Structure 1
Amino acid sequence: MVSITHHGAVQGVTGSCHQMTLASGEALLVDCGMFQGAESVGRELGERQIDFPLDDIKALVVTHCHIDHVGRIPFLLAAGFDGPIYATEATARLLPLVIEDAIKVGVSRDKNLITKVLQRLQQLLRPIPYDAWFSVEGLPQTRGRFRVAGHIMGSAYVEFDAQGERVLFSGDLGAPYAPLLPAPKPPYKADVVVIESTYGDKLHEGRRTRRKLLKSIIERCLKDRGTVLIPAFSIGRTQELLYEIEEIIHRAARKNQKNDLSRKGSPWETIDVIVDSPLAAKFTQHYRDLRHLWDAEARKKLASGRHPLSFEQLITIESHGDHLKLVQHLKSSGRPSIVIAASGMCAGGRIMNYLKALLPDSRTEVLFVGYQAQGTPGRDIQTYGPRGGYVFLDNERIDIRAGVFTISGYSAHADQANLVNFIKRIYRKPKEIRVVHGDDEAKEALVKKLQSVVPDAHVWIPNG
């Protein structure tokens, strides 16, 4: 039998890294993610990032390229790992961009160092198509397969056949009916499942409800002549938001035409939609290039001549100088705008300058569309903003007079019902389910639900 140990995402929701070891001792890793927020305390130094032996680890399998699943890869390489890195074809294309940005933000801006890491990464990468079994180098009689996870472009859950067992690692599962990407389909069978639980205790709003909520929040800001700030991860969330905003604009235009109103009369058709993140802009281009992976609805829009990720009102800010000018312009002018900027948890990046400038302005609305980890500024704004509180950003106290809203349905994560249904629809049910990648309350709630769905399985929460 195989054994599984966890090197992250068991005390919280970040740092995903799981080790599957054969009886003979050879092992592989599934993901090698960065710890974030409160979970990163004490791990700032490079040597603390990889605190487990690598001697028997022959390969790394990557489920998707969010930083909490891949951010420790540079440290893994620095520690001597030289095995193959398996990823879907789309993830293999996006991963170098994520790693380059992670090094620049958290390690060094030394171009020679970055180039060496990226060259080594490219040498080790093994792009694999969805649904194709591949042999894992260094692990005898072990094969893997990537299946669509619907979380972000290229995301996958991964199945392994090893020593007579089918072992499944969920990575991060996406929600059905999310924009752009097809929903995950459960496998026929699994013996052991390691499943995420980010929203294991929550239910998302339906897509129609969340789109109406998104529209109403933005219209409120238009009325107040303020700015809607949306902290969003550069990959996945940004592209889904653009897709939904284009849909709202399209419907507003169609309604005006039907009522024979002047196109200039619609605030939706004049509002600026600003993506202030060079990395997000690069990912958005890759999303467009990878449109063969879009779902049927999105491809239908393309066929009709619409451009969900490249529409007339979309503005991309590239240079840091233009970014600073825009922050000051919005602060002084109050021009109604939608600004999407990283980081998604307000723990760095260009969103910080917007928050410092605009949080004290009551015309501003801050809209959270993704999970905010404990110990991050995003969680503090989400918690204390509605009470008229304050937040510390770069050691500076910022009073919060802006409106603060959360739409959980735009999270790229499956909710409790989606996670339970994923397990429920596995025809040959697992005998063991390990619940990871969630706060304690989320994990405990999901365990309770899963125990009722698969009463014969051992459903539990590992701690290492």
Structure 2
Amino acid sequence: MEFPALSHHGGTRGVTGSCHQLHLDATISLLIDCGLEQGADAAPGSEFAPIGFDIAGIKALIITHVHLDHVGRIPALLAAGYRGPILCSEPSAKLLPLVLEDAYKLGISADPIQVDRYLALVQRLMVAIPFEQWHLVAEQEGVACSIRLQRAGHLLGSAYVECDVRYPGVEPSSRVVFSGDLGAPGNPLLRAVKPPERADILILESTYGDRLHADRSDRQQRLEAVIDRALVDGGTILIPAFSLGRTQELLYEIEDILHRKSLQAEQRQGPADDPLAALDWSRLPVILDSPLAQRITRAYAELHEYWNCEARQRLGEGRDPLGFGQLVCVDTHGKHQQVVNYLKSTGRPAIVIAGNGMCSGGRIVNYLKAMLGDPRHEVVFVGYQAKGTPGAVIQASEGAEGVVKVELDGRMYELRAKVVTLRGYSGHADQLGLVQFAIGRRDVVRRVILVHGEYQAKRLLEAALRRYATTKGGDLQVSIAEAERR
């Protein structure tokens, strides 16, 4: 076997389960991500399954970001006996325990003693490393590997990993880069992604390798128009959103809308027949009904030094983009039920952000059961809805005529509420973004291996990479990763 070499323990059949092993020689290796397969990729009971590969010789686990499809198999890795370092960016070190605690309680055990023991072990092994600095992670018999984390723009703390591998008497070093999940441009909180300076091998995600995203420049204006309509109708806007990343983007943009509306209200004297002129935006509650999302949002706020310049400037102006005055946080289940009943029975407009993002569970389901039958209300989707989920059924009803019903908790509910999908909130780079990351700098990437995507997305991205490389006159090898045979 020629080194460095790769084994893929996930992220090859679909868009979840990322887990890649970089073999430095026959005895030592690194693990990049240890994610859980989810949705259609997952076998029944996979969250309880053993790790499924030999962990001997793994010197470090490196985390690109803290979504469960990249970290959800950490309990299985620890159960297999791994006790090496868990390396991640400084923001990820703040977020990882929150995500792992919630997942452990939901999927494995809610016993406080077990949870505390598990989190204590994670904290002991976790090592936070700064962005843009080389860090030696493995050295044995002349073989040495250093890693450097670079911002990936997917969510706060997300990184792509540069691995610089040196062998005795061999120059130059071998550079292997793992993209993790790359973000789309225009994220309101995060700094932009910069392509790697060089890569002999690039392991590249391909989630949206088969498409181009809709224009993101007017997404906030479209969100504002939805809120305007809800205020006129006296209804509630229900936004199913995942706790990490998307929720914080939404809060940031809603705060900006509210801030702008308050300034306009001080100046505007609208005509008497203008229904928007009479609306009191200052009384519009924005309800965040997810304990995990609240904890993550507080962590995001504490990590403001990692925000982009524009977001930090708002703080300097005395604004609080993630903790503004109209934000109402609902923690207990009792308060949650009170809010559901109040919004159902009154005509007071509100915005509700609640989990989970695909309406298959969590607190959003109670809101939907209470309000789907009332046309005053509106369900707003800002993320992907997996086939077969209640969210996908509701989303598909947008613009439909006649009676539509959706099953929630084993009962059918008639859908009379308005449904709208706001494009432009994808957390992943599209085909053009992936191509520019891989070969935007001429001749710095020699070989690309595609992971983390459906087969069609990989095939189309493979073709796009080859086509673009040809126009640049470069020599690029592109292949699709295959799962490690067991």
- Determine if the TM-score, normalized by the shorter chain, exceeds 0.5: yes
Structural RMSD (CA)? 2.2
Contact 2:138–2:146 (CA under 8 A) maintained in structure 1: no
- 1:68 to 1:401, Cα distance in 2 relative to 1, 3 A: farther
Bigger Cα displacement from structure 2, 255-264 vs 123-132: 255-264
Q: Give the equivalent residue in structure 2 for 1:159.
A: 162
Pick which of 19-28 and 68-77 moved more. 19-28
1:211-234 Cα offsets, whole Å, 9 max, x none, are 111112222222222221111121
Change in Cα spacing, 1:84 to 1:375, as seen in structure 2 (3 Å) is farther
- Provide TM-score, normalisation by structure 1: 0.93
Corresponding residue of 1:457? 476
Shift of 1:317: 0.6
Alpha-carbon distance between aligned partners in 2 of 1:166 and 1:40, rounded to the nearest angstrom: 32
Partner of 1:244: 253
SS at match of 2:380: strand
Question: How far, CA to CA, are the matches of 2:310 and 2:22 in structure 1?
Answer: 37
Question: Aligned pair in 2 of structure 1 residues 362, 438: CA closer, same or farther (>3 Å)?
Answer: farther
Pair 1:40-2:53 in alignment: no
1:344 to partner: Cα distance: 2.0
Match of 2:383 among 353, 359, 370: 370
Distance of 1:399 and 1:441 partners within structure 2: 35
Post-superposition Cα deviations, 1:222-257, rounded to whole Å, max 9, x if no partner, equal 222222111112121111111111111122222222
Corresponding position: 1:335 with 2:338: no
Compared with structure 1, are the counterparts of its residues 292 and 367 closer, same or farther at alpha carbon in structure 2 (3 Å cutoff)? same
Corresponding residue number in structure 1 for 2:446: 431
Number of the residue aligned with 1:198: 207
Contact residue 397 and residue 419 of structure 2 kept, 8 A: no
The one-letter code matched in structure 1 to 2:199 is A
Equivalent-residue separation in structure 2 for 1:36 and 1:378 (angstroms): 16
- State the match for 1:27 in structure 2: 29
The residue type equivalent to 1:11 in the other structure is: R
- Report which stretch shifted further, 121-130 or 347-356: 347-356
Query: Which amino acid is 1:160 matched to?
Result: C
Query: How far does residue 366 in structure 1 lie from its aligned partner after superposition?
Result: 1.8
Cα 1:194–1:45, aligned 2, differ >3 Å: closer, same or farther?
Answer: closer
- 1:452 to partner: Cα distance: 1.4
Contact 1:38 1:375 in 2 (8 A): no
Shift of 1:16: 1.5
Distance 1:82 1:373, change over 3 A: farther
How far apart, in 2, do the equivalents of 1:199 and 1:364 lie? 31
Superimposed CA distance per residue, residues 255-288 of structure 1 (whole angstroms, 9 cap, x where no aligned partner):
2223257999434332111111111111111111
The 3 A distance-change label for structure 1 pair 373 and 168 is farther
Instruction: Please give the secondary structure, in 2, of the residue aligned with 1:421.
Output: helix
CA distance 1:129–1:367, change in 2 (3 Å): same
C-alpha displacement at 1:127, in angstroms? 0.6
Partner of 2:416: 401
Contact kept in structure 2, 1:178 and 1:207, CA below 8 Å: no
Q: Which has the larger radius of gyration?
A: 2
Unaligned stretches of 5+ residues in structure 2 = 167-172
Retained in 1: the 8 A contact 2:236–2:378?
A: yes
Q: Which has the higher helix share?
A: 1
> 2:395·2:420 contact (CA, 8 Å) conserved in 1?
yes
Amino acid in structure 1 at the alignment position of 2:63: V
- Corresponding residue number in structure 2 for 1:115: 116
Greater shift, 400-409 or 257-266, is seen at 257-266
Q: Is 1:383 the equivalent of 2:386?
A: no
Report SS of the residue matched to 1:83: coil
For 1:109, give the aligned amino acid.
A
Equivalent AA in structure 1 for residue 255 of structure 2 = E
Partners of 1:403 and 1:3 in 2: how far apart?
52
Secondary structure of the 1:101 match is helix
Q: Which amino acid aligns with 2:375?
A: S
Shift of 1:445: 2.4
Residue type matched to 1:412 in 2? G
> Are 1:166 and 1:191, in contact at CA under 8 Å, matched by a contact in 2?
yes
1:300 is aligned to 2:324: no
State the distance in 1 between where 2:379 and 2:250 align: 14
**Alpha-carbon distance in structure 2 between the residues aligned to 1:102 and 1:431:** 38
Amino acid at match of 1:300: Q
**Alpha carbons of 1:386 and 1:107: their partners in 2 closer, same or farther (altered >3 Å)?**
farther
Query: Residue 23 of structure 2 contacts residue 30 of structure 2 at CA under 8 Å; is this kept in 1?
Result: yes
Q: 1:161 to 1:58 in 2, by over 3 A?
A: same
1:372, distance to aligned residue in structure 2 (A)? 2.7
**5 Å matches for 1:25-424?**
25-44=27-46, 46-48=48-50, 50-137=51-138, 140-163=143-166, 164-260=173-269, 265-384=278-397, 386-387=399-400, 389-424=404-439
Cα separation, 2, equivalents of 1:276 and 1:406:
21
CA contact (8 A) 1:275 1:315 kept: yes
**CA contact under 8 A between 1:228 and 1:338: conserved in structure 2?**
yes
> Taking structure 1 as reference, are residues 21 and 184 closer, same or farther at Cα in structure 2, changes over 3 Å only?
same
What residue number does 2:170 align with? none
Shift of 1:334: 4.2
Work out whether residues 276 and 316 of structure 1, in 8 Å CA contact, stay in contact via their aligned partners in 2: yes
Q: SS of 2:10's equivalent?
A: coil
Q: Which of 12, 15, 19 is the equivalent residue of 1:13?
A: 15
Could you tell me which amino acid in structure 2 is paired with residue 355 of structure 1? L
Q: How much has 1:316 moved relative to structure 2?
A: 0.6
Q: Which moved more, 1:133-142 or 1:151-160?
A: 133-142
What SS does the corresponding residue of 2:102 show, helix, strand or coil?
A: helix
Q: Residues 416-450 of structure 1, C-alpha deviation per residue, up to 9 Å, x if partnerless?
A: 22222212323443222122222333222222221
Tell me if structure 2 keeps the 8 A contact 1:345–1:376.
yes
SS of the aligned residue for 1:409 comes to coil
Aligned amino acid, residue 221 of structure 2 = K
Classify the secondary structure of the residue corresponding to 1:136: strand
1:171 Cα offset (Å): 1.0
Structure 2 contact 36–47 (Cα < 8 Å) conserved? no
Q: Secondary structure at the match of 2:146?
A: strand
Asked if the contact 1:37–1:376 (Cα under 8 Å) also holds between the matched residues in 2, the reply is no
Give the conservation status (yes or no) of the 8 Å contact 1:37–1:374: no
Q: Distance in 2 between matches of 1:69 and 1:377?
A: 25
CA distance in 2, matches of 1:141, 1:432: 22
The answer to whether the 8 Å contact 1:181/1:295 transfers is: yes
| Amino-acid identity (%) | 49
1:384, CA displacement in angstroms? 4.8
